[in-house]
Amino acid sequence: MMLRVLFLLALFPLYAASAPLPAPDQGPALRIQGSNTIGAALGPALAKGLMEHQGLQAVRIEPAQGANEQRVTGKTRQGKTVSIEVAAHGSSTGFMALKKATADLAASSRPIKDSELVDLEPLGDLKSPEAEQVIAIDGLAIILNPRNPLNTLNTEQLAQIFNGEISTWEALGGIGGPIHLYARDDQSGTYDTFKELVLRLRGKPLGAGAKRFESSEQLSDAVSQDPQGIGFIGLPYVRHAKAVAIVDGDSHPMLPLNSLIATEDYPLSRRLFFYLPPSGHNPWAKALVDFTQSSKGQAIVAANGFIAQQVQAIAVEPRASMPEDYQAIARDAQRLTVNFRFEEGSASLDNKARQDLQRVVAYLKSHDKLDKQVTLVGFGDAKNDPQRAALLSKLRAMAVRRELVKNGVVLRDIRGFGAQMPVAANTADEGRIKNRRVEVWVY
């Protein structure tokens, strides 16, 4: 664990606190509301880390008044108590709390919806790079009872299972009779993500017979104890259940492995967010966002079972299904655990990609790879003309090149592979956006 923390410290800028944050005369210093996935453990752990970094003493996490609510408290050197409150009732409740001014920071396990963006316009643009902060990557695991023999499911089957159209394990080639469905509740960002990635794309509602849970831990434990059960859950909550490999469209089967989730190639990967209102924000909220993006904050992200936004180089085993030129790159180079993606309908890098640029540059500097040691590989969604798809994929790689060059990186090569090697189905906007990506390879 110590080596992992040291590695993170090398890749992220140290969090430089300015003057000590003010301790309020009454009430909490910071109120966080929203995602249960974040608020159950990660949010309180980050708040505790910030308090300790601020020099507060006797910092502890304790239950608050309601279910899924916690309070983090510490004492100043003068003996004054400072508290941060974390309420974890689902992503949508965080945006509602911002509107009502009952929260300073919203935690969300899905991107803000257009309707919420409009609703919160008086607080500023919550899609701006300063407001929308990707704090970690998570993967939705599809979990079964450990004794279930099935190992792979595709997203089409998932939609039919959770809609109730496929109702027995025998229909999937398994055994066990009727399928028992387990799902998060309507306020949950985990449910929102599953609905967006699996159900809505195929026009299917969740089956009425699904058992619903506010708690991720309780859902996972229920599936692991039910031989006929299947559920979806955030990655840290697989616990004693069995995760299966997922196929989306023409992608190859992918388990929710750290490397595939870090690059967001895994079909059910998702981003976790803090949303910080740009106008008149609480200084503790800004401090928590900055701390979370620092080496210390990302070490806490990793310690809580999520995927920290660290950059590592990994070997990729060439497969016969890969284009020959891509296999050649895989034989000679290593892939960084980051993919650059773009704003919808745009050639502009999205907010996470803008953060990742600095992380990649820091990695290249620390490993002495600034001069002709990097190849960018672009991919895209399918077009009627394969040559056009190949050109567009190379243009995306060139957009990343422009930003890297500004930071002193001299590229070795830029390649465009068009619509080859999809990681998601091209039948919907969400899949096409995932397929429009740029990989970074180092020699």
Beta strands in 191-324 (DSSP E): 211-213, 229-234, 242-243, 245-247, 269-275, 313-314
* Architecture in CATH for domain 311-442: 2-Layer Sandwich (3.30)
What pLDDT score does 15 carry? 53
* 440 neighbors 336 (Cβ within 8 angstroms): yes
> Encoding tokens for residue 33?
């509301």
Same fold: 2-131+276-303 with 311-442: no
* 34 neighbors 108 (Cβ within 8 angstroms): yes
- Give me the CATH topology for the region 139-262: D-Maltodextrin-Binding Protein; domain 2 (3.40.190)
In the chain, what are the domain boundaries? 2-131+276-303, 139-262, 311-442
Name all contacts of 92-99 with Cβ < 8 Å and 24+ positions apart: 92/116, 92/187, 92/189, 92/192, 93/33, 93/34, 93/187, 94/32, 94/33, 94/34, 94/35, 94/275, 95/34, 95/119, 95/120, 95/275, 97/31, 97/33, 97/34, 98/123, 98/275, 98/277
Cross-strand pairs, 143: 231, 243
User: Does the predicted model carry a pTM greater than 0.85?
Assistant: no
What pLDDT score does 18 carry? 54
| pLDDT tens digit at each of 443 positions of the chain | 444 444 444 445 445 555 789 999 899 999 999 999 899 999 999 999 999 999 999 999 999 989 999 999 999 999 999 999 999 999 999 999 999 999 999 999 999 999 999 999 999 999 999 999 999 999 899 999 999 999 999 999 999 999 999 999 999 998 889 999 999 998 888 898 899 889 987 899 999 999 999 999 999 999 999 999 999 998 889 999 999 999 998 888 999 988 899 999 999 998 999 999 998 889 999 999 999 999 999 999 999 989 999 899 999 999 999 999 999 999 999 999 999 998 876 778 999 999 999 999 999 999 999 999 999 999 988 887 888 888 989 999 999 999 999 999 999 999 999 999 989 887 767 778 888 999 999 99
**2-131+276-303 — its CATH code?**
3.40.190.10
What pLDDT score does 381 carry? 83
Q: What are phi and psi of 327, to 5 degrees?
A: -60, -40
What pLDDT score does 4 carry? 45
